Chains A and B, each alone.
Chain A
Amino acid sequence: MPKTSIRTKNLSKTYDNQTVVSNVSINLPYGGIFGVLGKNGAGKTTFLAMLMGLITPSEGEIFIFDKSLKLHKYEILKNINFQSPYIDLPKKITVMQNLIFYARLYDVIDKKKKILKLSEDLFITDLLDNIYGTLSSGQKTRVNLCKALLNDPKLLLLDEPTASLDVSTSEFIRKYIKNFQKKNNSTILITSHNLEEIEKLCSHIILLDKGKIKFDGKKNELFKQNKSSSLKDIFLKDDK
């Protein structure tokens, strides 16, 4: 088992003289749920995108499972997956056709069996023959989560996994994520504006502010440091 899941060294991203992520160095152990927090424009999505190779860093290095992302990209990507409400699947084909396509890309053995198992767990079996574009946002989120779990990722990146979902679906997704992590001992990195969600799920928090790390450590340490009992208080204090 690798020692670290994500290690970044002086990671920066600059667009036309505007720095979005600045000198971020983190060292996350293997296994666990980690939260990345920050206000709009703090650089969370850019940071996540760099970890998946979707955005090339301007400076710095990324190591996933102790291996350089630059040198072992495709080997690493086999064990990573991602879900975001801002990214979709092709709308004109069925859920099953979409999932089979991704199962192929990840070389999943016994694709149908895997999809049916995950569909049962995520209560989307009835949706498999539906056209993806006709689904509600809650259904799409569950289908996207199914896609994100097809390859049993060792590193799962979730960008606002419960955005625009009702209370019960959100709770279901949170429980599912927690159980998945426990069962597979995988690493999950979550960004969310839902501070309660991060509080419930994550033991370790990375706080980004204007692209820089403001805090990186245990949740309790953050509370202690800020003399607060909730993330909401910390954010509100910061605004003042």
Chain B
Amino acid sequence: MINRILALLIRYKNISFGSFPRLLSIFYWPTVQILFWGYFTNFFMSNGSFGIWSALNIILSAVVLWDVLFRGQLGLTMSFFEELWSRNLPNLFITPLKDIEMVYGLIVTSLVRTLIGITPAVFFANYFFNFHLFELGLYLIFLFLNLIIFGWSIGFIVSGLVLRYGQAFEELAWAIIFIILPFSCVYYPLDSLPNIIQDISLFLPTVHIFETMRLILIENKIVLHNVFIIIFLNIFYLMLSILFFLKMIFIARKRGLLFNQGE
């Protein structure tokens, strides 16, 4: 009996420790949880002046907007993974479908999936919690669009990595959003983070997006400088991620990987 249990243990050790993304997910989660809840509690303890409804409104707005990013990324990667999992990629790539058309198709699919997914959440939040997401006005569309665009950027990077390095990287599709969560300042402001992490976080458009959201909800104010940074960073990352994805398709063709994908 011990021998068989040992066999299982070795097998799961090989599976879990056999790839970097899986290894990362084992060690990263506890740290992320501690960091995230630590910063979150600190922020609310030191801002006791917030009314409970204002605090709830900010948290719910952040939850919904964060989900836009998550749905956007997942909508893109899952659509691409469906082709991988069903061993359908060769069928796709021998049609006249151009690589860039695939990129456009994934973007539009992700947009539709996100809109369908997020609408009931907004409705329930409004109905049950007197939620005021629409107080963000036209900026809501701006924040929504920019979050989904950053979701696409992450989605293209993950899809490219899976295409190039195989299924071990699929774990990233679920984990990557939560890897950047503590640094994105979704539920607490940038200055809650240590200085060195602040410097790194500034490169994430999500930081500027959620800072903008809080500023509108708390002070009813918008900083134009932030808006330009959001647009600039998002365009830069989207272009970079699309180029990366196209390059991975190119490498997959070169290394004969399109034939060997799937479950």
Chain A: residues with CB nearer than 8 A to chain B?
13, 15, 45-46, 49, 52-56, 74-75, 77-78, 80-82, 84, 86-92, 102, 105-107, 147
Q: Is B171 engaged at the interface, CB distance under 8 Å to the other chain?
A: no
Q: Are A88 and B88 in contact (CB under 8 A)?
A: yes
Given A54-B93, A80-B94: A90 touches B253 (CB 8 Å cut-off): no
| Residue of A whose beta carbon sits closest to that of B257 | A55
Q: Are B96 and A77 in contact (CB under 8 A)?
A: yes
- In the assembled complex, 26 residue pairs joining A and B whose CB atoms fall closer than 8 Å, in A order, are A15-B255, A46-B256, A49-B90, A49-B256, A49-B258, A53-B253, A54-B253, A54-B259, A55-B253, A55-B256, A56-B250, A74-B96, A77-B95, A77-B96, A78-B96, A81-B94, A86-B87, A87-B87, A87-B90, A88-B87, A88-B88, A89-B88, A89-B91, A92-B86, A105-B96, A106-B96
Q: Which of A49, A82, A86, A91 contacts B86 (CB 8 A)?
A: A91
In the bound complex, CA of A92 to CA of B66 (Å): 29
**B102 to A: closest C-beta gap in Å:** 11
The contact string, 1 if C-beta is below 8 Å from chain A, for chain B 220-263, is: 00000000000000000000000000000010011110110010
Q: Are B98 and A74 in contact (CB under 8 A)?
A: yes
In the bound complex, CA of A225 to CA of B88 (Å): 41
In the bound complex, CA of A83 to CA of B125 (Å): 49
A15, A78, A90, A106: which has the most chain B beta carbons within 10 Å?
A: A90
Measured between beta carbons, the chain B residues less than 8 angstroms from A90 are 82-83, 86, 88
Q: Which of A45, A77, A107 contacts B94 (CB 8 A)?
A: A77
| Residue of B whose beta carbon sits closest to that of A80 | B94
Restricting to B91-118, which residues have a CB under 8 Å from any CB of A?
91-98
Known A52-B94, A102-B95; 14 more pairs at CB < 8 Å: A49-B256, A54-B253, A55-B253, A55-B258, A56-B253, A74-B96, A77-B95, A78-B96, A82-B94, A86-B259, A88-B87, A90-B82, A105-B97, A106-B96
Measured between beta carbons, the chain B residues less than 8 angstroms from A92 are 82, 86
The contact string, 1 if C-beta is below 8 Å from chain A, for chain B 167-196, is: 000000000000000000000000000000
| Residue of A whose beta carbon sits closest to that of B92 | A105
| Residue of A whose beta carbon sits closest to that of B95 | A105
Measured between beta carbons, the chain A residues less than 8 angstroms from B94 are 52-54, 77, 80-82
In the bound complex, CA of A75 to CA of B98 (Å): 11
**B254 to A: closest C-beta gap in Å:** 5
Given A55-B253, A82-B90, A86-B87: A106 touches B95 (CB 8 Å cut-off): yes
Measured between beta carbons, the chain B residues less than 8 angstroms from A15 are 255-256
B92, B94, B258: which has the most chain A beta carbons within 10 Å?
A: B94
In the bound complex, CA of A82 to CA of B91 (Å): 7
In the bound complex, CA of A24 to CA of B254 (Å): 18
Restricting to B58-107, which residues have a CB under 8 Å from any CB of A?
82-83, 86-88, 90-98
Measured between beta carbons, the chain B residues less than 8 angstroms from A106 are 95-96
Measured between beta carbons, the chain B residues less than 8 angstroms from A49 are 90, 256, 258-259
**B168 to A: closest C-beta gap in Å:** 19
Measured between beta carbons, the chain A residues less than 8 angstroms from B88 are 87-90
Q: Are A54 and B254 in contact (CB under 8 A)?
A: no
Measured between beta carbons, the chain B residues less than 8 angstroms from A80 are 94
In the bound complex, CA of A88 to CA of B259 (Å): 11
In the bound complex, CA of A106 to CA of B250 (Å): 22
Q: Are A84 and B90 in contact (CB under 8 A)?
A: yes
| Residue of A whose beta carbon sits closest to that of B89 | A87
**B213 to A: closest C-beta gap in Å:** 36
Measured between beta carbons, the chain A residues less than 8 angstroms from B98 are 74
| Residue of A whose beta carbon sits closest to that of B258 | A54
In the bound complex, CA of A106 to CA of B94 (Å): 10
Q: Are B86 and A88 in contact (CB under 8 A)?
A: yes
Measured between beta carbons, the chain B residues less than 8 angstroms from A78 are 96
A45, A88, A92, A107: which has the most chain B beta carbons within 10 Å?
A: A88
Q: Which of A54, A74, A77, A91 contacts B90 (CB 8 A)?
A: A54
Given A87-B88, A90-B82, A91-B86: A56 touches B93 (CB 8 Å cut-off): no
In the bound complex, CA of A78 to CA of B259 (Å): 20
Measured between beta carbons, the chain A residues less than 8 angstroms from B262 are 88
